[in-house]
Each structure stands twice: as C-alpha cells, then as structure tokens.
Structure 1
Amino acid sequence: MRAARLSVLTFTAVAALTAVTGCTEKGSSGDSDRVIDVTATDSKCEVSKKEFPAGHVELAIENKGSKVTEVYVLFPDDRIVTERENIGPGTKQKVTAEVKAGAYTIACKPGMKGDGIRQEVKATGGSVAKRDPRLDAAVAAYRKYAQEQADATLPLAKNFAAAVKAGDLEAAKKAYAPSRIGWERTEPVAESFGDIDPKVDVRADGLEGGQKWTGWHRLEKSLWQDKKISAEDKTLADQLITDLTDWQNRVGKADITPTSMANGAKELLDEVATGKVTGEEERYSHTDLVDFKANVEGAEKSYALLKPVAAENNAALVTELDKQFAALNTLLDKYRADKTSYDFTSYDKVGDADRKQLSDGVNALAEPLSKLAAAVVTKSS
C-alpha cells in the first residue's frame, strides 16, 4: 500500500477541483494523436491534448518538479484506469493504457499526497478495436484469479479477526500475515475502486486529514507495538471483515484490460520497492517478506497470462522478464524454510547488504516490466 490514496470524489467535485488547481492544457509535442504528453511540476499538471481517440493511448510523462509524483488516469467516479507511481524529479515514464470512449481525469500528485492536480480529458470515437482473442482470455483468467484471491482471503481474515476479538494476542499475530496474502497478490485491482484500500491497508503516515485509522496496519500496531488488544481493536476487527467483504463482492465488477493487467504488475513491483524493501509496510510485525512474495506472485500471474502475446510482439523482453522473475524468486527463497512455505525470515533480521540485494533484484525486474503493457499491443521493430 502506497503512503496515501486519492479520495473518492463525485464528478462534479472533480470538475471543480480542476478549475482551481492549476491544471492547464498545452500544445502537443507528440508524434501521434494517441500520445498524451503529461508534464508534472510541483504546482501544475499539463497535458498535450484534452481529446484523443478511444483505444490504446500512451502517456509520455515528465516530472519537471522537485517532488516525487504519481500520475493517474481516472474514471469520473475516481476509479483508477491506470497509474504510475514514484516518478522522480527530472525523470520520464511511459504508460500504455486502453480506454473506451468517455470522460476521464488525468491527475498528477506531487509529493504523492492529496487529491492531485487534475485535468479533465475525453476519449472520443466508437468502441475500442477488437482485441486478440488470447488477450480476452487472459483478462477472463485474471478476473477469475482476482476473485479466487478475494474468496480465499475472507476465511483467513475471519480467523485473524476472531483471534483479535477473543483477545488472543499470539493467535492474532500468527494469523495476521496469512490473512494479507490474497490482498497483496491482487492489490492493483483492490486499489482501482479507490475507497476500499484506505479503509483496510493504510499506514499511519498515509492518513489524510480527518481520516480515521482502520484496517490491518492499525491492528498490527496494537499487536506488536502496544502488545495489547483493546475494546476498540475488537470493533476494528469487525470493520475489517465488513470492508474486505465489500472488496470480495466488488472484485468481479472491476474494469480490467490487458494493459491494466500489465501496468498492475508494474505497480506491484513499485509496492515492493517503496514499502517492502524499505521495511515501512510492516513496520511493527516485520512480516514484509510475506507481502513481498505475494506481490511478486501477483505480478508474475499477470505476466504469465499475457506472455503468449508479448512473446510474439517482443521476444527479447519476454526473455529478460523470465530471467529476472526467476532471479528474484531465487533470491526470496533464501529467506524461507522451503519453496512452498510462507514462513519467511523476520525482516528486522535482514541486514542492509541483503536489503540492497533485494532492492537491486526488484529494480532489475521493474525496468523491463514497465514495458509489458506496450508489448501486448505493439510489435517491436
């Protein structure tokens, strides 16, 4: 879970926010009507065009500000179409997305906080061109996978909640990490709804003004740092199950495309790089490597489903991705009892040199993975 999330706004509120936050349109420098240049600064979010053809589009993002930023394409109700996190000052990123005709918002988030600087845009024309049937099959298989993960999470989360409500500190600690695996495998789908993630997976430093801290990490703090279970914690355990049940019921309604699968795989690696490798995600329980492995598994699932088409379009990329996934999984295996176990080394026992090695492995995979979305829609030259 990244430090903060975009709050859910009505379309009217989005329009009002756009009017006051400095989002402006600039002249296009792109070579194609399907390329949208996005220039982010600390106070502006400039886009090269407000209208573009429905179908596959590319965001060519440049951060000219002094802060790390994120860029989102959002539906009018703030569900996420696609996103790219952790775009450092002076760096560029490219993101390929598939959009249907309709209204959208492009949002830049300097400092990765708040609702972002927003620009309303519009995809025009008829329906998106017919996809390769293999990609439709990949989307269907991934949708089934996401639902299976949600269905499997609920019983584990209920075990965790039951231990909390019983006041059994040790049982709750034992049930905590397993209850998060399905969520971590499919986190981009859960995040796409906008309102569920801040309820169940926010950290203390990710709270927005006036937001009550709920969810897994609030309970994690009680179990490991406070070393006691309060009456409020028992209420929060019930709330966690209510919110996760909401997620389970909504997973099947998520908007999923081949490019969102590919971008979601990259987002999972970003989650590892910014939360798990640093030890910030599970700062009390130190179960970061469980989340780390689940994120990698989720990314690899998306990749495996898209691989047949990507291999035809960009064989060299697939060769590199196979290599880097294997290398990172081998590295992770060093920290668990066996290859089928989620009994990982407590992350506070992992030294700086080993953390650097894990970080290097994530970065080596993340770079080629950022090209997967383009590879499922465009043949390499």
Structure 2
Amino acid sequence: MRSRYLATVAVALLAGGLAACSSSDDNAGSGAETAAGGPITVNATDSACEVGVTDVDAGTVQFKVTNKGGKVTEFYVYAAGDRVMGEVENIAPGLSRELHVELAAGTYETACKPGMSGKGIRGPLKVNGSSAPLTEDAALKDATGNYSRYVKSQTDALLTKTQEFTDAVKAGDVAKAKALFPVARTYWERIEPVAEIFGDLDPKIDGREEVVEEGMKFTGFHALERDLWKTGDISKSGPMADELLVNVKEIVARAQAEQLSPLQLANGAKELLDEVATGKITGEEDRYSHTDLWDFNANVEGSKAAIAALRPALEQRNTDLVKQLDTEFANVDAELAKHRDGDGWKLHNELSQADLKGLSDVINALAEPISKVAAVVAG
C-alpha cells in the first residue's frame, strides 16, 4: 500500500531512471487503433481511466497506460474478488508503461489509481473465446513449476519466522521481536507479487499507516513495528500479533495453491524493483525500524528468482537480454554489499544521500532490461 506522500517522492525517483523505460505519449491512440493487434490504449488522468478496448479475445492482452494526469498512478486488471491478474505501478505524469497479462474467458475489471491509493477508477473488461496457454511452451511450463517450488520454500519459512516473531511479541520480549522483525519480512518481500494477488490480504499484512485513509484498520507487520520502535509498549499487541499470524497462514495456503502464469513471473520481477524504488530507497517502508535494506535485498532476491525460473525460456528467445540482466543484477549485489553490517544491513537512517543515490542508480539500470522480459515471454 502506498502513501500519498510517496506519490511526490516517486516522481523524483522514477523520472531519472526507473521510469526511463517508459516514454511520454501525448498522441496515445484510441481503441480503434488497437484492433490491428497493437496494445490497448489506456489514458489515465486524475479523474478518469479511459480504456480503448473493453471486449477482447482470450490469451495475452497488452495494455499501454499513459498518465495524462498530475499524480503518479497505477493500473490493474482484476478478476472476481479483486484478485490481481496484472498491474503496473508508479507511472509518473507524462509517462507510459506497458502491461502484458494472460487472461482466460470471463469478466474482469480494469482500474487506474491516481495517487496510488483507494479502490481506483474502475471499468468492465470482457474476455471472450479461448487460447492456448503460454505454458504449452515446455520452457515456460518448467519456469512456472520451478517458481512455484520457490514460492513454497519461501512461504514455509515465512510462516515459521512469523510464528517466532508473533510469539516474541506476545511474550513481551521487545528485543527478540525487534531482531525477528526484518528476518520474517525477508520471506514476505521475496514473494510479495504473489501475495498481492489476493485482494485485501496484502494490506492487512503489510499495509502502512495510510490504509486508515482508505477506510481500513492499521494492522499487520507495520502496526507491530510501530509498537516496537515508536512506543516500545507491546503489552496490548498480542491480539494484533494473533491476527497477523492468521492472515499469514491464509496467504501461505493461497500462494502455495496458486497456479501462476509465466507473465505473472515476468511482471512480478519488475514489480519487486518498483517496490524497492518507492518504499525501500525512500525509507517509507520501515519508517519506524529503518530496516529497509533487509526488504531491499529481499525484493532483489525475489526478482532474481523469478528471472532464474524464466532463464531457459529467455535464453532461447533473447540471449543478449539474459546477459544484460546478469550484469545488472551483479551490479546491484555489489552496491548493496557496501552496506552489509554483520549478518544484516545498515539502517536506512545511517545511509548518506550519496549511498542512496548509488542504490537508486543500480536499481534504475536493472529496471530497464527487466521491463523487457514480459514482452519476450509473451512472444
């Protein structure tokens, strides 16, 4: 969940590099222009979400979202129950982003979210007919299988470490709970795009204080983080710890049962870098504990795992892109290594502006080739 403050910060961060893979598109076409097989044009403003075509054939659907408003925006495709089929975040004013999503026949909703908050400006999307799934390609089928095994390993560990964290909170052991907080969150951050598929479970577990503005209770990891670091009083935090564990158990069960599309892997790898740029580099994510670099590293590791699963298919289709991804991931790892502190990481408030710029620069450089992966997977 994003803060309203973040919209301003994100523009400054993204304009230099992360959104460099986008371009201004004042002449974005109408729906008629998409009939020949080009992307569906989405013109997003602060008060409208104009989707050029709302009746499409099953299979891979491509959208080109242009932000013609004054606020940073997001674009989502939802199935029933607000299940996220695909999303693009952090679209700065004047820029465009593309989304490739695999859709079966059915009824969906599109949504633009100016200011990156709330339920968004929604509209219907109907998908007709049938299409061979991308997983008919053997390499892509293997990719989803391999990544599903990764998700299982990470969610199993998430449940174990969240149990240890919540036990410490309920026992009133502030020091132990503080030590376990970034460790438990590591496993969450690695698979966050999968967790975000499931409606309102993500904000219940990982929402920041701004969820109150959207009519939700402030619960989960960050509410407990506030109690641990801001007030230091967890004597009444037991029920919230219990609720967090219940929600984590539910998301673990759902994530392990989810049948992922190859495009969800590709889009998720990019979404994790968006998470880094808008929450971790800014210090907005873990604003009380300042343990943002644990999350930063976990997001990068999760992105790398998705690309590793897709690697055989990518090597068949674009070896130069694979080499570029390897180089940029290595550069991110090298820059992050400068901020190691024992088995963990320096706190965000210990980093200089030069440190933050160095981290931002390598994420921006990695974001450019990552943004090409979905199109390669879609073929």
Q: TM-score, normalised by structure 1?
A: 0.89
Rounded Cα–Cα distance in structure 2 between residues aligned with 1:337 and 1:112: 33
Contact 1:100/1:128, CA 8 A, preserved across alignment: no
Rounded Cα–Cα distance in structure 2 between residues aligned with 1:209 and 1:105: 20
Contact 1:34/1:57, CA 8 A, preserved across alignment: no
User: CA-to-partner distance for each residue in 1:44-99, whole Å, 9 max, x for gaps?
Assistant: 11111111111112111111111110000110221000000000111011111111
Q: CA deviation at 1:30?
A: 2.6
User: CA-to-partner distance for each residue in 1:351-372, whole Å, 9 max, x for gaps?
Assistant: 1110011011111111211110
Rounded Cα–Cα distance in structure 2 between residues aligned with 1:112 and 1:238: 29
Q: CA deviation at 1:31?
A: 6.1
Contact 2:2/2:210, CA 8 A, preserved across alignment: no
User: CA-to-partner distance for each residue in 1:150-177, whole Å, 9 max, x for gaps?
Assistant: 1111111111111111111111111111
Partner of 1:35: 39
Counterparts of residues 319-338 of structure 1 (less than 5 Å): 319-337=323-341
SS of residue in 1 equivalent to 2:82:
coil
Rounded Cα–Cα distance in structure 2 between residues aligned with 1:308 and 1:377: 15
Partner of 1:292: 296
Contact 1:28/1:36, CA 8 A, preserved across alignment: no
Counterparts of residues 30-179 of structure 1 (less than 5 Å): 30=34, 32-33=36-37, 35-129=39-133, 131-179=136-184
Q: CA deviation at 1:250?
A: 1.0
One-letter code aligned to 1:211:
M
Out of 206, 215, 218, the position equivalent to 2:211 is 206
Contact 2:74/2:88, CA 8 A, preserved across alignment: yes
Q: CA deviation at 1:255?
A: 4.3
One-letter code aligned to 2:126:
K
Partner of 1:19: none
SS of residue in 1 equivalent to 2:65:
strand
Partner of 1:348: 349
SS of residue in 2 equivalent to 1:242:
helix
Q: CA deviation at 1:28?
A: 2.3
Q: How many residues align?
A: 354
User: CA-to-partner distance for each residue in 1:104-132, whole Å, 9 max, x for gaps?
Assistant: 11111111111111111112112334531
Rounded Cα–Cα distance in structure 2 between residues aligned with 1:303 and 1:95: 17
Contact 2:190/2:302, CA 8 A, preserved across alignment: yes
Rounded Cα–Cα distance in structure 1 between residues aligned with 2:348 and 2:364: 19
Rounded Cα–Cα distance in structure 2 between residues aligned with 1:321 and 1:26: 34
Rounded Cα–Cα distance in structure 1 between residues aligned with 2:46 and 2:363: 28
Partner of 2:366: 365
1:220 aligns with 2:225: yes
Contact 2:34/2:53, CA 8 A, preserved across alignment: no
One-letter code aligned to 1:245:
K
Rounded Cα–Cα distance in structure 2 between residues aligned with 1:33 and 1:51: 13
Rounded Cα–Cα distance in structure 2 between residues aligned with 1:277 and 1:249: 31
User: CA-to-partner distance for each residue in 1:182-209, whole Å, 9 max, x for gaps?
Assistant: 1100000000001211111111123344
Partner of 2:20: none
Q: CA deviation at 1:29?
A: 2.0
Q: CA deviation at 1:244?
A: 0.5
One-letter code aligned to 1:320:
Q
> Higher helix proportion, which one?
2
Q: TM-score, normalised by structure 2?
A: 0.90
Contact 2:86/2:264, CA 8 A, preserved across alignment: yes
SS of residue in 1 equivalent to 2:272:
helix
Contact 1:3/1:202, CA 8 A, preserved across alignment: no
Out of 267, 270, 281, the position equivalent to 1:266 is 270
Rounded Cα–Cα distance in structure 2 between residues aligned with 1:161 and 1:294: 20
Contact 2:31/2:41, CA 8 A, preserved across alignment: no
Q: Which runs of 5+ in 1 are unaligned?
A: 5-24
Counterparts of residues 2-17 of structure 1 (less than 5 Å): 2-3=2-3
Q: CA deviation at 1:253?
A: 2.8
One-letter code aligned to 2:142:
A
SS of residue in 1 equivalent to 2:81:
coil
1:318 aligns with 2:322: yes
Q: Percent identity?
A: 46
Q: Which runs of 5+ in 2 are unaligned?
A: 5-28
User: CA-to-partner distance for each residue in 1:292-316, whole Å, 9 max, x for gaps?
Assistant: 0100000000001112212222222
Partner of 1:196: 201
Rounded Cα–Cα distance in structure 1 between residues aligned with 2:196 and 2:133: 27
Partner of 1:18: none
Partner of 1:13: none
Out of 244, 248, 252, the position equivalent to 1:244 is 248
Rounded Cα–Cα distance in structure 1 between residues aligned with 2:68 and 2:124: 21
Report the more deviating stretch, 204-213 or 306-315: 204-213
CA-based RMSD of the aligned residues comes to 1.7
Rounded Cα–Cα distance in structure 1 between residues aligned with 2:144 and 2:2: 25
Q: CA deviation at 1:26?
A: 5.4
SS of residue in 2 equivalent to 1:28:
helix
